Structure 1
Amino acid sequence: MSKQGKLELIEKEEAGDKDYLSVPALELIEAFGEGNHIPGSGSASALSGLIGVELMKTVLKLSIGREGYEDKKKEFEFILKTIEEQFIDTYKNLFNSDIKIFHDVSYYRRLRDKAAEGSTEKEKYGQTAVDKLKEATDIPIEICETSLQLMKNAFFIFDNGYKATRGDSGVAISNLLSSAQGALFIVFLNLKTLKKSQWKEDKMKKAVSLALRFTQIQKEAYRRVISLYNESSDDNQLTLDFYKED
């Protein structure tokens, strides 16, 4: 898309209303590489989480009723029901909300930049853009919280679900981690651009708390990578050391 085409997209007030989840998969993937402001990193983070929970569903469906996994049937069914009734829609809503809100940020920034210096319009549009950016920061915080919240279930599925599908449950774990970490990148970047305030301080504390949780959960995920390695190799065992240098 040309530079002019990108500017035209920003200047369309309704551009953020497009339902990107309803377009063909290849078109959606390519949309992330068009160089436009939407769909952007926040919606990509939500999409990672959505793929993660769909993979969790697959493993659960292959585990429920399978011989040798009867003792965990009730837990599997409960997790599956929770995912289908709550988390699928949560990620879809976050995906669409990020597109809409971040388009608003770009739209009002564009109006601000076009307004005359010192005009009331420039001040008004600038403040609206800041307010929208705050909304846009709340979305990746929720994405991160949602993905970290699901990790306990993702680990349970990996540890107790159909063992032949641990590739699927492992990728589900990886997608949730990617979703959470990607959201943290966005939050800290947004907060960097905002002026000092109580709101910013509160959000920073929240983000730091989530980052600390992420670090611990990441180690738990890596332990499961090690467990599979140890099942398939007689070589020296891997160790859990994120800081070891080559």
Structure 2
Amino acid sequence: MEKRMLIKKTIEEFSAVLASDAPAPGGGSVAALSGALGADLIVMVCALSIGKEGLEDYRDQLSASATRARSLSGSLLQRVDLDTRAFNGVMAAFRLPKATDDEKKARSEAIQKGYQEAIQSPLGIARECVETLQLAESLLGRSNTNALSDLGVSAQQAYAGLEGAIMNVNINLPSIKDAGFIVETKAETASLLAAGKAAANAVNAYVAGKLG
């Protein structure tokens, strides 16, 4: 991985690294970035709504939503790099020596640990994308109508991040040997996807209905 944090790169630099033949950053980092952008749009929508005539009753909610969305964005941006590091941990485990039985056992355990950590990374992204989607839904009818398309794009970005994160969970699950871990993870991803889809559909339906 590049020595400089991915989130410290310019958009052009990040794009170039992403388009290279390096296996990371990849879809997980992009999912995190997508979720962060969705959260950023919520902050913007709240900023454009606070103090707006007719929205005085929602000032506290808008302020709280902006604060939470800003926190989610910061966390998701950190996950852009964390996801790449988690994947690199798996690759490092595969490079461990395997000449003796003890080395083979240690290597196998390290690989399993690496895969589980690689799964925890996109799971974290998925959880925060769902929260971002639910924040967007909570602002329907309570935010500046001139920023309605921005709220819609926020949900689109967060849902893309959610689905992308879950894809990154699912691609690593077959490498896990712990059956209990697999069952638990599949149950959580199903729950996250259902919650995220419900919020995304609500936002999309509302925005489409208002914009025609």
Query: Is 1:46–2:32 an aligned residue pair?
Result: yes
1:173 aligned residue (148, 155, 166) = 155
Q: Percent identical across equivalent pairs? A: 20
Q: Name structure 2 gaps, 5 residues minimum.
A: none
Residue among 28, 33, 45 paired with 2:19: 33
From the CA coordinates, give the structure whose radius of gyration is larger.
1
How many aligned positions are there? 212
Residues 155-197 of structure 1: CA deviation (Å, up to 9, x unaligned)? 2334321111112111111111111111111112211222242
Aligned-partner Cα distance in 2 for 1:60–1:108: 45
**1:37·1:106 contact (CA, 8 Å) conserved in 2?**
no
Q: Which amino acid aligns with 1:28?
A: F
Q: Which has the higher contact order (CA 8 A, sep 6+)?
A: 2
Relative to 1, partners in 2 of residues 1:158 and 1:29: Cα closer, same or farther, differing over 3 Å? farther
Alignment correspondent of 2:57? 71
User: Residues 18 and 119 from structure 1, CA distance in 2 versus in 1: closer, same or farther, beyond 3 angstroms?
Assistant: farther
Query: Aligned partners of 1:117 and 1:131: how far apart in 2?
Result: 20
Determine the structure 2 residue equivalent to 1:141: 123
Instruction: Kindly indicate whether residue 106 of structure 2 is the aligned counterpart of residue 124 of structure 1.
Output: yes
Partner of 1:212: 194
Distance 2:5 2:80 in 1: 10
Calculate the TM-score normalised by the size of structure 1.
0.78
TM-score by length of 2: 0.89
- Please state whether the residue corresponding to 1:159 is helix, strand or coil: coil
| Corresponding residue number in structure 2 for 1:98 | 83
Q: Is the 8 A contact 2:134 2:196 kept in 1?
A: no
Q: Is 2:150 the partner of 1:164?
A: no
Give RMSD over aligned pairs. 2.1
Give distance in 1, aligned partners of 2:194 and 2:41.
26
C-alpha spacing 1:23/1:196, structure 2 compared with 1 (3 Å): same
Q: Distance in 2 between matches of 1:210 and 1:192?
A: 20
1:12 corresponds in structure 2 to none
